[in-house]
Amino acid sequence: MARPRILVTMGDPSGVGPEVVVKAVAKPEVRALADISVVGSTAALLETWAWLGLRDAPPPVIEPTGTGVGPFPVGQLSPVSAKSAHAWVEFAARKCLAGEAAAMVTAPVNKEAFSLAGITDTGHQEVLARLSGATNVKTMLVSGQLRCMHLSTHKSLAEACRYVKRANVLDAVMLTHEHFVRWGFANPRIAVAALNPHASDNGLIGREELDEIAPAVADARAKGVNVSGPIPADSVFNAAIAGKHDVVVVMYHDQGHIPIKVHGFEQSVSVNLGLPFLRTSVDHGTAFDIAGRGVADETSMVEAIRLAVSLVNGAGL
């Protein structure tokens, strides 16, 4: 396999981002996968490298002008940290858009810190969509055999329920089908989760299944997509883990995040669909409560790098 160029963003330097990045890229088996550069603070990376007691040479760091000076207070919200983290994401995205990197892998940013810093982008996905001009960007979580593609993510529950419309569900199913075919699934088996308990019991508990989800599934089938649903959310994930479905399209954030994190929290990875470049990410937050203590688990970052390289090389999920 080729060793593609991968940019790993440090995330919020006040959180566990520097630690999980350093721990992951310090592994010889990870560094063998790709030509990896870290986008972030040189000082933060070298300091982390030192207090973790690592002896090998650290990876190359790209520090965009004016972003790595800090101070970056450990374990607390910081507008300074947020502004640097935001700039690092923008830098890596622009390099991917310019064809100068095959993919970007992101450590966690903090949405509250973004807001305190006056940043209007809610999180990574909004930054990447804005810079690329992509209008239909979705988030998929992966943990082992369980894959959850989200109809919506950063919406309140009430707003997410209102977003369950026939056209939106159809777009999500088609986007999922297109990407899975691109990733080597000849006939991807897509399940669509219901919104309401018991898939509404034929309209007794809400109308979304009858009026929006089922028609969207029928529309997708008419286009030749191998899709089933709406399937009650209390049974569809177990079936997917057992191998009956390749991916589950879920209706809102927690409907997908909870089963993924219960099934395999440490191994879970986030992948964006709908961008003109590849971005994977850890599936955890900045964890200010354990930042700087050396106890952060780097497994998700390792898996995010592995998945990025696999997808870039055409080896699939």
What's residue 287's pLDDT? 97
3-state SS, residue 37 = strand
Q: Which residues of the chain have pLDDT under 70?
A: 1-2
What's residue 2's pLDDT? 65
Tokens at 230, concatenated? 């709406």
End-to-end CA separation in angstroms for the chain: 15
How confident is the model over 201-215, as pLDDT tens digits?
999 999 999 999 999
Pick the closest to residue 38 from 80, 2, 85 (CA basis).
Answer: 85
Per DSSP, helices labelled H in the chain are 17-25, 28-31, 42-51, 79-97, 111-116, 124-132, 157-162, 166-182, 208, 214-222, 233-241, 253-264, 299-312
If you write DSSP's letter for every residue of 179-242 in order, what string do you get? HHHHTT-SS--EEEE-SSGGGGGTTTT-SHIIIIIHHHHHHHHHTT--EEEEE-HHHHHHHHHT
What's residue 1's pLDDT? 58
The domains of the chain, with CATH numbers, are 1-134+275-317 (3.40.718.10), 137-273 (3.40.718.10)
3-state SS, residue 62 = strand
CA gap 171, 212 in Å, rounded: 12
What's residue 68's pLDDT? 85
35 strand-pairing partners: 5
Q: Residue 157 phi/psi, 5° resolution?
A: -60, -40
How confident is the model over 119-157, as pLDDT tens digits?
999 999 999 999 999 999 999 999 989 999 999 988 999
What's residue 317's pLDDT? 81
What's residue 31's pLDDT? 95
